[in-house]
Amino acid sequence: MRVVTPEEMRELDGRATREFGIPEEILMERAGMAVAIACREILGAPAEVSRHIVAVVGGGHNGGDALVALRDLVSRGYPAAIVLMGSEKPPSQAVSRELDRLARMGVVPTQGVDSSFRHRISHAALLVDGLFGTGFRGGSLSREARELIVAMNRAADSGIPVVCVDIPSGVNGTTGAVSDVAVRGRRTVTFGAPKWGLLCDPGTRYAGDIYLSPIGFPRNLRDGGQLSCLLPHEANELLPVRPPAVHKGEAGHVLVAGGSPGKSGSVLLAARGALRSGAGLVTVLWDRSFGEAAASLPEIMTFPVDFATLSPREVFRFLPRMDAVACGPGVEEAFGGRALVESLLTDYPGPLVGDAGVFDLFAGNPEKMASSRRGPLVLTPHPGEMGRLLGRETATIVSDPLGSVREAAARTGAVVLLKGARTHVAHPDGRVSINLTGDPVMAGAGMGDVLTGIIATFLGQGLAPFDAARLGAFFHGRAGELLGTTSTRGRLASELADLLTVILSPVGGTAHQPPGFNRSQDPALFWPFPAPCPPSASFGGRQ
């Protein structure tokens, strides 16, 4: 599904009006109605609501949407109130129009931070956050905006539901950054297409359950663009088909090359990831110094070698039989495996996924990778490895994952998967897909090795590198979510690998999905992902 930046959304808004004759007022009406549905689902019938629904609004269109929602709720009999943020600028025409309509219905705003705003907010039945939307420029907030957001968060802490319009106020829609404070919503209803910043850390953790409402944007307007995320039905469609009469020779033969003394487990985990995601055959290059550990995974074939003296010719003798290579997990710089990794990268013409040891080989010189590699390539660095590859501090990678992953893909000529709670997958042509599956239980040893194996399987079954990488990240995360339904910590990478078979096996026509999706009763709102951990849980702090 297409994901947009606020800038792209503004362009789409303009095109909806210019090219399709859909005026802004209609879009705003639909946006407001979608927010009202989300509020009604939380509140129940008007007769059950005795306290006010309070819309906290700024002077932009985001405030306009919130006021339209309020108008709908008032017309259904819910008690309502408005807190209007003051500003140097007069409210937009749309906000003035909606304020006027509400005034005629008997709802008059209180202006900004007067003596009553805290009482109103803290005694609300529900808050609608319409302070800032995609027009938020980031940076520091006015004192008034800050006070309103802090008051809303106090109310949220005391159990009052907050429904955010389009994006939680204070979250940067382009990056997901929160430079000061931001509203912690129970739900966020976003319009037309999800905003990139709404899906990225840390902004996504302020959103609560995300719902998307198409609000009547023509479908072809929503196609295209370079940013995307993979929805469950899209992932299921990408998954390579297994014909009824398939035999193991047709399901992909993966070679795993890597490991070093003390790190032979890495190659076993990659091999397990490959087998559990459906590879027909897996062969591991097994250095004799690794000992007997391979016996723990009897389904693999091992090719015993001595990395220190291994001649490329010895390996390349059987490479033509391989459909994909997983290269680099567990390789230590000082170990002889480096030469092997280098020759595989340079000489193996088939699809290859490179992890760990591969990045040290090209540290600070990603262009060398582009010139050495002949075949399709997927790289799977974590931020530290990406930093070494690009010659940057890890912190700069973490603060700009989108820019970093795009740069790495452009400079290496490879598909690059930057690991994180929100994994990014970039194509050298500029496309980037953000992965929305995963669970904190996945923060543990060996999880990345399993991912390398999964991607190798998908490459070996004929998927293009970009698809293999984003699909691998999706199902790896799904397996983690399933693992996370029964525990919060202490699960093993091999356990995650073993759950892949459940995740990847169609049940009732679609791949298994753990419970917890945001399914509104109303088809106008949908979003098929569970909410990530809220900021209070992940950062420990409260505003």
Ligand X SMILES: NC(=O)C1=CN([C@@H]2O[C@H](COP(=O)(O)OP(=O)(O)OC[C@H]3O[C@@H](n4cnc5c(N)ncnc54)[C@H](O)[C@@H]3O)[C@@H](O)[C@H]2O)[C@@H](O)CC1
Q: Which does 477 bind (CB under 5 to 8 A by kind): K ion, ligand X, none?
A: none
CA gap 418, 405 in Å, rounded: 6
Chain contacts with K ion (rule: CB under 5 A): 129, 164-165, 169
The beta-carbon contacts of 240-249 under 8 Å, at least 24 apart in sequence, are 240/278, 240/458, 240/461, 240/462, 240/463, 242/278, 247/280, 248/280, 248/281, 249/280, 249/281
Q: How far is the CB of 397 from K ion (least distance, A)?
A: 29
* 29 binding ligand X? (CB under 6 A): no
- Among residues 204, 212, 186, the alpha carbon closest in space to that of 434 is found at 204
Q: How far is the CB of 58 from ligand X (least distance, A)?
A: 5
* 84 binding ligand X? (CB under 6 A): no
257 is in an annotated binding site: no
Q: Which does 72 bind (CB under 5 to 8 A by kind): K ion, ligand X, none?
A: none
Q: How far is the CB of 23 from ligand X (least distance, A)?
A: 8
153, 118 Cβ separation under 8 angstroms: no
- Among residues 526, 404, 525, 446, the alpha carbon closest in space to that of 259 is found at 446
Q: How many CA atoms lie within 13 A of 12 on its CB side?
A: 27
Q: How far is the CB of 430 from ligand X (least distance, A)?
A: 25
Segment contacting ligand X (CB under 6 A): 53-61, 225-233, 327-335, 468-476?
53-61
Nearer to ligand X, 63 or 185 (CB): 63
Nearer to K ion, 167 or 417 (CB): 167
CA gap 401, 489 in Å, rounded: 26
* 186 binding ligand X? (CB under 6 A): no
Reduced to 3 states (helix: H, G, I; strand: E, B; else coil), residue 436 is coil
Binds ligand X by CB under 6 A, chosen from 4, 5, 8, 27: 27
Segment contacting ligand X (CB under 6 A): 118-126, 129-137, 290-298, 318-326?
129-137
Nearer to ligand X, 82 or 254 (CB): 82
- Indicate the residue type of 25: E
Binds ligand X by CB under 6 A, chosen from 18, 21, 89, 143: 89
494, 272 Cβ separation under 8 angstroms: yes
* 200 binding ligand X? (CB under 6 A): no
Residues paired with residue 53 on neighbouring β-strands, in sequence order: 80, 126
Residues 136-165 binding ligand X (CB under 6 A) are 136-137, 139, 141-142, 145, 165
263 is in an annotated binding site: no
201 is in an annotated binding site: no
Residues paired with residue 105 on neighbouring β-strands, in sequence order: none
Number of residues that bind ligand X (CB under 6 A): 28
501 is in an annotated binding site: no
Nearer to ligand X, 68 or 471 (CB): 68
Binds ligand X by CB under 6 A, chosen from 3, 8, 53, 62: 62
365 is in an annotated binding site: no
Nearer to K ion, 171 or 482 (CB): 171
Q: What is the DSSP string of 354-413?
A: E-THHHHHTTT-HHHHHHH--S-EEE---HHHHHHHHT--HHHHHH-HHHHHHHHHHHHS
* 28 binding ligand X? (CB under 6 A): yes
Nearer to K ion, 210 or 344 (CB): 210
449 is in an annotated binding site: yes
169 is in an annotated binding site: yes
Residues 326-385 binding ligand X (CB under 6 A) are none
153 is in an annotated binding site: no
SS (H, E, C) 260-311: CCCCHHHHHHHHHHHHHCCCCEEEEEEEHHHCCHHHHCCCCEEEEECCCCCC
SS (H, E, C) 176-238: CCCCCCCCCCCEEEEECCCEHHHHCCCHHHHCCEEEEECCCCCHHHHCCCCEEECCHHHHHHH
Both structure tokens of 354:
């490179």
- A 10 A CB-CB count for 214 gives 16
Q: How far is the CB of 136 from ligand X (least distance, A)?
A: 5
Residues of each annotated binding site for (6S)-NADPHX: 61-65, 166, 330, 382, 449
Residues that bind ligand X (CB under 6 A): 13, 24, 27-28, 31, 58-65, 89, 92, 132-137, 139, 141-142, 145, 165-166, 191
